[in-house]
Amino acid sequence: MTATPEVDLPNPYTGTGTIHNPATGAVAGEVRWTDPADVPRIAAGLREAQKEWEARGPKGRAKVLARYAVWLGDHRDEIEKLLIAETGKSAVDAAQEVPLILMILSYYIKTVEKAMAPEKRPAPLPFLSIKKIEVHYRPRAVVGIIAPWNYPVANAMMDAIGALAAGCSVLLKPSERTPLTAEVLLRGWLDSGAPEVFALAQGARAVSEAVIDNSDYIQFTGSSATGAKVMERAARRLTPVSLELGGKDPMIVLEDADIELAANAAVWGAMFNAGQTCVSVERVYVLESVYDQFVAATVRAVENLKMGAGEGYDFGSLIDAGQVDITERHVNEALEKGAKALTGGKRPEDGGSFYPPTVLVDVDHSMSCMNEETFGPTLPIMKVSSVEEAVRLANDSPYGLSASVFSKDTERAKKIALQLDCGAVNINDVISNLMCTTAPMGGWKTSGIGARFGGVDGVRKFCKQETVVAPRTSVGAGGTYYNNSHKALARMNRLMTKLALARPRRTAK
Read off the CATH number of the domain in which 65 is found.
Answer: 3.40.605.10
Check if the beta carbon of residue 175 is closer than 8 Å to that of residue 202: no
Judge if 177 and 29 occupy the same domain.
yes
Q: How far apart are CA 173 and CA 143, in angstroms?
A: 11
Check if the beta carbon of residue 355 is closer than 8 Å to that of residue 375: no
In the chain, % of residues over pLDDT 90: 86
Judge if 481 and 458 occupy the same domain.
no
What is the extent of the structural domain holding 489?
Answer: 473-503
Q: What is the mean pLDDT of residues 384-404?
A: 98
Please name the residues in contact with 504: beta carbons below 8 A apart, sequence gap of 6 or more: none
In a domain, 195, yes or no: yes
C-beta contacts of 337-343 below 8 A and 24+ residues apart? 337/364, 337/366, 337/367, 338/362, 339/363, 339/367, 339/369, 339/380, 342/295, 342/299, 343/299, 343/302, 343/303
Judge if 177 and 57 occupy the same domain.
yes
Q: How far apart are CA 199 and CA 174, in angstroms?
A: 11
Give whole-number Cα distances, 307 to 21, 89, 323, in Å: 15, 10, 16
Judge if 404 and 478 occupy the same domain.
no
Judge if 384 and 276 occupy the same domain.
yes
In a domain, 353, yes or no: yes
Judge if 420 and 485 occupy the same domain.
no
Residue 509 has pLDDT above 90, yes or no: no
Judge if 407 and 484 occupy the same domain.
no
For 195-233, the pLDDT digits (tens) are 999 999 999 999 999 999 999 999 999 999 999 999 999
Q: Please state the domain count of the chain.
A: 3
Read off the CATH number of the domain in which 376 is found.
Answer: 3.40.309.10
For 476-489, the pLDDT digits (tens) are 656 667 777 888 77
For 260-306, the pLDDT digits (tens) are 999 999 999 999 999 999 999 999 999 999 999 999 999 999 999 99
pLDDT the model gives residue 507 = 46
pLDDT the model gives residue 298 = 98
Judge if 219 and 267 occupy the same domain.
no
In a domain, 441, yes or no: no
Judge if 237 and 207 occupy the same domain.
yes
In a domain, 104, yes or no: yes
Q: How far apart are CA 298 and CA 343, in angstroms?
A: 10
pTM: 0.93
Q: How far apart are CA 325 and CA 328, in angstroms?
A: 5
Q: How far apart are CA 126 and CA 142, in angstroms?
A: 41
Q: What is the mean pLDDT of residues 47-59?
A: 98
Judge if 372 and 408 occupy the same domain.
yes
For 139-178, the pLDDT digits (tens) are 999 999 999 999 999 999 999 999 999 999 999 999 999 9
Q: How far apart are CA 379 and CA 377, in angstroms?
A: 7
pLDDT the model gives residue 12 = 65
Q: How far apart are CA 461 and CA 480, in angstroms?
A: 40
In a domain, 8, yes or no: no
In a domain, 5, yes or no: no
Q: What is the mean pLDDT of residues 68-87?
A: 98
Mean model confidence pLDDT for the chain: 93
SS (H, E, C) 382-412: EEECCHHHHHHHHHCCCEECEEEEECCCHHH
Judge if 101 and 148 occupy the same domain.
yes
Judge if 227 and 265 occupy the same domain.
no
For 291-304, the pLDDT digits (tens) are 999 999 999 999 99
In a domain, 7, yes or no: no
In a domain, 331, yes or no: yes
Active-site annotation, residues: 244, 278
Sort strands 241-244 and 217-221 into parallel, antiparallel or unpaired. Answer: parallel
Q: How far is CA 214 from the centre of its chain?
A: 22
Strand partners, 138: 464
